[in-house]
Chains A and B, each alone.
Chain A
């Protein structure tokens, strides 16, 4: 039987954010995961970053919970210092050989005390810090590393090179964890599927001497700059000039170093992330030092992602970052004091010279040789740009069945795309291995829970520095000292990152050692981090609800960063309030309810169909609701993908698969009318074509309602028949209509309705689309004159290849950013387009046979209705706002609802498909659990105070409350109310209405709220400070 040969385990190669996401989704979906990482700790590139764009969230803060989750998942086995030797077998049943290199430190013994490193005599360049600092021969990769275990660098260790030398670490290691005789070990692992998340390396600019990298000390890479800015970097976030440690006054960022460059390196592609990270780094440094002069020298500002253009505008207009459109070809020294000279030609055509004291090279992304070799060995085809060769229609499938890929190994991409890829790969593995789900996973019983009911509160307060996010504003030392004076506080500690693995271990230790029974975490927001700390409490044997977070970052340090004293005083108040609340919290148990094993998918475009099909392949029942009479959505108008794959053929196949799958039921001409219920048990009413109502019960929802196109109001559209929108042009082109067939001159106008005041966002796919159409036109008849009038050409990633091809074919690109949009006039037999030529610096008049407008993608007008029905936020452009732009890109804060495709933001087909698979992974992960733990925030009745007046019954929106009549011991008739635990959602509307304080919600009781109020207004504390 096929079922018997399918193995319910997967191998994930690469422990960066993409691989971690794939591992977590798979492990939670019922598959055992081997997570193979070549270095000593997982995390990949993200821990090296200071902040992430476009939110400027601290990178460590958002990745730390994921690191911890991977580290303590019972169904993920992390194999560090390991590489894959070979993969044999077939999809569903592979045998993999993994070589684990020696760590020379016994991980079962190492307690990460760091004494070894403290006394190690040998220092070498620290690659984690991009070689701007040293580390010892025995080291941990970074302080928040998972696993938090030391390792010996055999290239650096004196003892490993010569057995007669040193060995001091072995002498002083308290638990005796050092083992110089450690040897490499080969493991043979049986798995059903492989996920390759091999990641990237940054381009090494010392290869080309022109930028002076490695020659002039004040030329550094963007990654080095990131380490300078990082609070956990070697300079604690303080930026000085490498040559003389003097403060920096003028910084120049040079873009496209090792990208879009066929001359100095063979990286023709655009690295897709450098524009955004340069803006981020420039903004960060300007924020700390507004007087600095920071300039970014670029060719095209490629900020096509969600909220990216607003970020770019903010950098320019609010932060005063200078943007100079010019490619700098060389950096020279000026004088002998370390200054650097840049020489360039401005957009006005003038020669300009600038002197700066720091040059930051925005280095591109590339695939390391070793990874290319590994891919070849496994049998994966690669693109000429040395990334995994993937179809836009199957964006995480390699050329080898059963082997999937994600992250930057699929082409340069940012964190959300990597996270989406990780989830998408997990969904594809889940579909493949569905018969073997739950065959190899295990569940660990939690440790016995301490009964704290009779104990007096012993509160532990943990104050997070959050790097410098909190500690840079709030005087954390003073705050911690203050917290120690609060009643019932038994222990106070400060941590660089309270969410990191080392602090979780510490928390458990302190709970046990100090007998703590309640915890206050003064850090960021409970909305993102409370689940992590709850798990930690659980693993320490404390009820997971005996925790309160004081939000001293988002709601304090960040909103009062100009007033440190105010922020410090407020932090004390917030901690006092949390301490007051936590001391009255009671132990609770989550409510366990079964999950309906079906998913409602709203919208039958490519994203909806992809999600539906994947989940059906995973074995779940799907209800696909489509408002029109046919499946296909916006893709019905598309002809080809960016790399020339034929969309109509693919769409036909996908539609047939969806229509024929026994687990998918499609409702055409249907819309959602009403929604009730919650994660695991939604009840949705739809109106079907015959104006009938149908009620669907489902465990999860995926929203893939797409977008609509902008109908241009400018450029004489609708007035001159020769001015058409790009989608219309595709149709004319496909049918070789006379305007196209006889056309000699074609003008494409970009950004029509996008990136303006009304819609300050980029529609992302139009540059590529226009260039493809232009190439096709030119190839059909090379004599045709073709112009593309643009603001920035945003052929990000490997799409750059078609931009280059277009230019080689003689297509003329004219930039209208500087001199304003072109003007259109009707002329004999055609259209006249007036534009300023940015190269010749004079006005140009082009006679066009057809003018093609690259019209914007707009949010679907129906999004608002769905947002209201499912209680979801929309962003200011009308697109659905995901829970977290970086790490929760397809989820909402409302559990069980997911989003994919154009409903989220304009994007090309392969990104919609990827995101749809990611949404399917999340829904599958939820449904695989079969039952769900709901927050026990339910209303509880106090029978002594409740007199059965019934006011609460009338206001309860869920009809969860009923009147109960009973008799007391003496037989007197009495009344009270009963709250149904499943129907109650814990809103507390009853609580707000009760005249007797007879009913309140656990975790938000009258007493707890009053305690918070009293603590917030406690005047004794103010006096204490004054004294």
Chain B
């Protein structure tokens, strides 16, 4: 049996974590592979945490913060965005497809947008697995 695909999603306390609660209240459905870790701000997530998660076997990692310009801490999400570019580059160097990492913005009133981001990430990783599994694909 192949191991279960898991996606680590760092959600900021003010927007995306609240949206995740609201997604529940609205009974929206998204893949069971998502594991949310609550952080105070998307800018809190150190690039090492993303790499650590992938090293430990996560299929993908997401950082989800407030919309740009709406950060609870003025510009933490801008910091997260700046780091995201560095993370994407680093991942390739380390042999991970950059698609395994994604940064997204969701307000606390947008549960559907969050659920869609989860679904989209899950589908993206599934297609990545298919490519890996096919003979022509390059495995890890």
Contact = CB atoms under 8 A, between A and B. Distances in A.
Contacts of A287: 27
Interface in A520-575: 525-528, 551, 553-563, 566-567, 569-570, 573-574
Contact of B109 (A881, A894, A1012): A881
B32 interface: yes
A871 B72 contact: yes
Contact of B37 (A554, A875, A1012): A1012
B73 A992 contact: no
Interface centre among A566, A958, A991, A997 (most CB of B within 10 A): A991
A873 B56 contact: no
Given A558-B24, A868-B70, A1009-B49, A551 B44 contact: no
Contact of B28 (A559, A574, A992): A559
18 contacts: A527-B17, A554-B20, A554-B21, A554-B22, A559-B23, A559-B28, A570-B32, A570-B35, A873-B18, A955-B43, A958-B73, A987-B44, A997-B46, A1009-B45, A1012-B37, A1013-B49, A1016-B58, A1019-B57
A5 interface: no
Given A893-B14, A991-B46, A1013-B56, A986 B6 contact: no
A989 B109 contact: no
B120 to A, nearest CB: 15
B7 to A, nearest CB: 10
B75 A957 contact: yes
B110 to A, nearest CB: 9
Interface residues of A, number: 63
A416 to B, nearest CB: 15
A555 B46 contact: no
A57 interface: yes
A53 to B, nearest CB: 12
A874 B15 CA distance: 12
A1017 interface: yes
Contacts of B108: 873, 881, 893
B32 A569 contact: yes
B81 to A, nearest CB: 11
Interface string A868-880: 1001011110000
Contacts of A871: 14, 70, 72
A1010 interface: yes
Q: Which of A558, A574, A937, A1019 has the most CB of B within 10 A?
A: A558
A993 B69 CA distance: 20
A871 B6 CA distance: 32
B35 A573 contact: yes
B38 interface: yes
B79 to A, nearest CB: 5
Interface string B1-31: 1011010100001100110111111011110
A435 B107 CA distance: 43
Nearest to A1010: B52
A672 interface: no
B39 A1009 contact: yes
A1022 interface: yes
B73 A985 contact: yes
Interface residues of B, number: 53
A1004 interface: yes
B46 A994 contact: yes
B67 to A, nearest CB: 10
Contacts of B39: 988, 1004, 1009
A559 B30 contact: yes
B25 A554 contact: yes
Contacts of A573: 6, 35
Interface string A175-205: 0000000000000000000000000000000
A988 B27 CA distance: 31
Given A525-B21, A1009-B37, A988 B43 contact: yes
B72 A1013 contact: no
A567 B34 CA distance: 11
Query: Which of B36, B41, B58, B115 counts the most A-chain CB atoms under 10 A from its CB?
Result: B41
B88 interface: no
B83 interface: yes
A1014 interface: yes
A577 interface: yes
B53 interface: yes
Given A559-B30, A955-B79, A1010-B49, A527 B18 contact: yes
B25 A55 contact: yes
B80 interface: yes
A554 B72 contact: no
A1013 B53 contact: yes
A795 to B, nearest CB: 30
B94 interface: no
Contacts of B79: 955, 989, 992-993
A639 interface: no
A868 B4 contact: no
Contacts of B69: 868
Given A554-B20, A559-B24, A873-B107, A1014 B56 contact: yes
B40 interface: yes
Contacts of A561: 27, 29
Given A55-B25, A525-B21, A1004-B44, 14 more contacts: A554-B24, A558-B27, A559-B30, A566-B32, A569-B32, A577-B37, A873-B109, A957-B73, A958-B74, A987-B76, A992-B46, A992-B76, A993-B46, A1013-B8
A1017 B55 CA distance: 10
A559 B9 CA distance: 15
A1026 interface: yes
A1006 interface: yes
A416 B35 CA distance: 33
B21 A555 contact: yes
A230 B99 CA distance: 45
A1001 interface: yes
A573 B7 CA distance: 12
A988 B109 CA distance: 24
Contacts of A1019: 3, 57
A399 interface: no
Nearest to B43: A989
A119 interface: no
Interface string A881-925: 100000000000110000000000000000000000000000000
Nearest to A893: B18
- Which of B14, B25, B107, B109 has the most chain A CB within a 10 Å cutoff? B25
B131 to A, nearest CB: 22
A1026 B3 CA distance: 11
A874 B107 CA distance: 9
Nearest to A287: B27
Interface string A849-880: 00000000000000000001001011110000
A988 B45 CA distance: 8
The 3 closest A-B pairs by CB, nearest first: A988-B44, A554-B24, A566-B32
Contacts of B49: 1006, 1009-1010, 1013
Interface string A49-93: 000000111000000000000000000000000000000000000
B36 A559 contact: no
Interface in A980-1027: 985-989, 991-994, 997, 1001, 1004, 1006, 1009-1010, 1012-1014, 1016-1017, 1019, 1022, 1026
Nearest to B15: A873
A528 B126 CA distance: 34
A559 B29 contact: yes
A555 B83 contact: no
Contacts of B56: 1013-1014, 1017
Contacts of A868: 69-70
Given A991-B46, A1001-B40, A957 B21 contact: no
A1017 B52 CA distance: 11
A987 B21 CA distance: 21
Contacts of B109: 873-876, 881
A562 B4 CA distance: 19
Contact of A992 (B13, B43, B52, B57): B43
A527 B21 contact: yes
